[in-house]
């Protein structure tokens, strides 16, 4: 009996060791895949920007380190306008119930929009791209990141304050007088919240943006963004010149979301809501954008 007991203990220990080895192997595999996938996503942005000669820049803020991309040279003529493109929510969720480990987008739509920009053609105008907290960052630059920053707290005061500091740093670098904020999807929400607190925003433009976040979460019957701010509650936005584009085939952020936002802040003459044929939530904003921009330029 004693011998059998020792043998059983040995076999049990052997299986426990094997289970531990398997667990560690799986953990290393998952970590390696996560890093590889992040490298691929960062590589996508690098390929896009390198083809245009744009440079990466890390901007330290009080809470997060933000990734920006800018053309190699910027005019430094005081009185110009800086157009800042703000990225969407990115790869926030890997399933309906499970947040991702990193929100860096697979398809950085706002970056593609920035690279297609036609505003910055004048001698005093500049353009820049600003990613959201925890996107395109690694190692020490991610030490403050928590999955809530790309889920329930994606539009929190902490996030918006950091983005506000990032915009101010880009403005100082270009010596611009005014800011034009352009945001895709959740980046449009961030842009609106920035416009609500800044006094230098000459124009706010959004594409496929869930501007009334309470209405949007109720529409899809998903968990409310408890830790986030909602642009629809900031009446001061009625004083900001703004244009909002909605994809005619967008089922994720349909027209009713922007309509609810405009009803909440008050519909005035300096606000425009436009439906874009042939566009859904993902497709094909960067291809359409130059012609939409030209229409805006020609209307002024």
Q: What is the CATH number of the domain that holds 141?
A: 3.40.50.1820
Position 40 in a domain = no
Q: Is residue 68 part of a domain?
A: yes
Q: Where are the alpha helices (DSSP H) in 83-156?
A: 109-115
256 belongs to a structural domain: yes
Quick one: pLDDT at residue 140? 79
- Residue 8: inside a domain: no
Secondary element (H or E) of residue 13 = helix 2-50
Query: Region 190-204: what's the mean pLDDT?
Result: 98
Q: 3-state class of 242 per DSSP? A: strand
When the pLDDT of each residue in the chain is averaged and rounded to a whole number, the result is 86
- Evaluate whether residue 221 is within a structural domain: yes
Three-class DSSP category at 244: strand
Question: pLDDT digits over 247-274, tens only?
Answer: 999 999 999 999 999 999 987 778 999 9
Q: Tokens 């519909």 identify what position?
A: 267
Residue 139's pLDDT band (boundaries 50, 70, 90)? confident
Q: What is the percent of the chain with per-residue pLDDT over 90, rounded to a whole number?
A: 65
**pLDDT for residue 112 is more than 90:** yes
For residue 126, the enclosing domain spans 53-298
* Pairwise CA distance, residues 167 & 89, whole Å: 18
Tally of domains within the chain? 1
Which is more confidently placed, 282 or 33? 282
Residue 4 lies in a domain: no
Q: What is the pLDDT of residue 76?
A: 56
* Within-domain flag for 3: no
Q: What is the pLDDT of residues 9-46, one digit of tens each?
A: 544 444 444 443 333 333 333 333 344 466 788 888 89
Task: Return the half-sphere exposure (C-beta side, CA atoms, 13 A cut-off) of residue 281.
Answer: 16
**What pTM, to 2 d.p., does this model score?**
0.86
List the 126-130 sheet strands across, edge first: 55-60, 65-70, 126-130, 81-86, 178-184, 201-207, 242-247, 271-276
Residue with tokens 């003529």: 77
**Residue 45 covered by a domain:** no
CA distance 118 to 205: 14
Residue 141 has pLDDT above 70, yes or no: yes
pLDDT at 74: 59
Q: Which of 61-65, 138-142, 165-169, 200-204 has the lowest mean pLDDT?
A: 138-142
Q: In the numeric block, which tokens belong to residue 4?
A: 């059998």
Radius of gyration of the chain, Cα coordinates, nearest whole angstrom = 23
Q: For residues 238 and 268, is the Cβ–Cβ distance under 8 A?
A: yes
Nearest-angstrom CA–CA distance, 241 and 86: 18
């Amino acid at each position: 009996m004693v011998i059998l007991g020792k043998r059983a203990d040995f076999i049990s220990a052997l299986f426990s060791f094997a289970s531990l080895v398997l667990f560690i192997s799986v953990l290393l595999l998952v970590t390696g895949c996560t890093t590889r996938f992040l490298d691929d996503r960062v590589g996508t942005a690098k390929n896009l920007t390198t083809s245009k000669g744009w440079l990466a820049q890390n901007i330290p803020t009080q809470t997060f380190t933000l990734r920006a991309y800018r053309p190699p040279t910027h005019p430094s003529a005081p009185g110009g306008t800086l157009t800042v493109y703000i990225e969407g929510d990115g790869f926030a969720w890997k399933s309906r119930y499970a947040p991702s480990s990193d929100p860096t987008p697979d398809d950085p739509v706002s970056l593609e929009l920035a690279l297609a920009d036609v505003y910055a053609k004048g001698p005093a105008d500049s353009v820049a791209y600003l990613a959201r907290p925890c996107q395109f960052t690694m190692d020490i630059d991610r030490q403050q990141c928590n999955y809530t920053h790309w889920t329930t707290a994606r539009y929190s005061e902490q996030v918006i304050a950091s983005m506000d500091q990032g915009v101010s740093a880009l403005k100082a670098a270009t010596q611009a007088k005014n800011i034009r904020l352009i945001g895709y999807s959740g980046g449009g929400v961030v842009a609106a919240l920035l416009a609500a607190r800044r006094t230098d925003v000459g124009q706010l433009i959004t594409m496929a943006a869930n501007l009334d976040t309470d209405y949007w979460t109720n529409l899809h019957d998903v968990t409310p963004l408890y830790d986030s701010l909602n642009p629809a509650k900031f009446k001061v936005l009625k004083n900001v010149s703004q244009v909002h584009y909605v994809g005619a085939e967008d089922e994720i952020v349909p027209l009713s979301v922007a309509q609810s936002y405009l009803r909440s802040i008050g519909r005035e003459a300096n606000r425009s809501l436009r439906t874009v044929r042939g566009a859904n939530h993902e497709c094909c904003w960067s291809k359409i954008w130059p012609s939409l921009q030209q229409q805006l330029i020609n209307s002024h």
